[in-house]
Amino acid sequence: MSSSSNAPLRVVVATGNPHKVDEIAAALRFTGWEFVSTAELGGWDSPEETGTTFEDNARIKAQAAHERFGIASLADDSGLVVDALDGAPGVYSSRYGGEEATDADNNAKLLRELADVSDEDRTARFRSVIVLIGEDGTETVASGACEGVIGREGRGNAGFGYDPLFRPTGTPGRTMAQLSMDEKNAISHRGAALMALREKLVG
């Protein structure tokens, strides 16, 4: 998938979260590519995420955006997989605390669920699956993961979601919310998925 020098390739990112658009644009620095949010194109009704896997949900969103706007679309579905909770919250990460849950609600529920779990058993990973649909409907799928543990209190003001509680294995003593954008992209699940996507596109 490419763009001519005179006409940038516009890619709509199927999310209402501006942080995701920033991360994706920072990681996929292709010359001639322009990443735009659904809001910038007039908004849309986000489809119901009825999939049972991250890939299912990413595809649902990417296809809906592609049909709505008629341009290349990219969607990511990601979440937190906690071993002690048998993989929860998983695909329900964004609504773990309820359909209208805020990040604070989700984090609070996670801490309650893990209250009696020992430090060594609080292992978890963020997983991300990205689906990119080209202007012609061609689909490219990539995934990534970031291993870590769940802390007992939130730390840091950067990032979003479960970032204040998640301490990546690669950054001892710091949570995801205490990392710069470049540090986060270098180790994060979405960063890994974007790197894998980039390799597929240029390879």
Residues identified as active-site: 77
CA 24/CA 131 separation, integer angstroms: 12
CA 74/CA 62 separation, integer angstroms: 5
- Within 10 angstroms of residue 116's Cβ, the number of other Cβ atoms is 8
The radius of gyration of the chain's CA atoms, rounded to the nearest angstrom, is: 17
- Within 10 angstroms of residue 7's Cβ, the number of other Cβ atoms is 8
Position 5: which residue type?
S
One DSSP character per residue, 119-185 reads GGG-EEEEEEEEEEE-TT--EEEEEEEEEEEE-SS---SSS-TTTTTEEETTSTT--GGGS-HHHHH
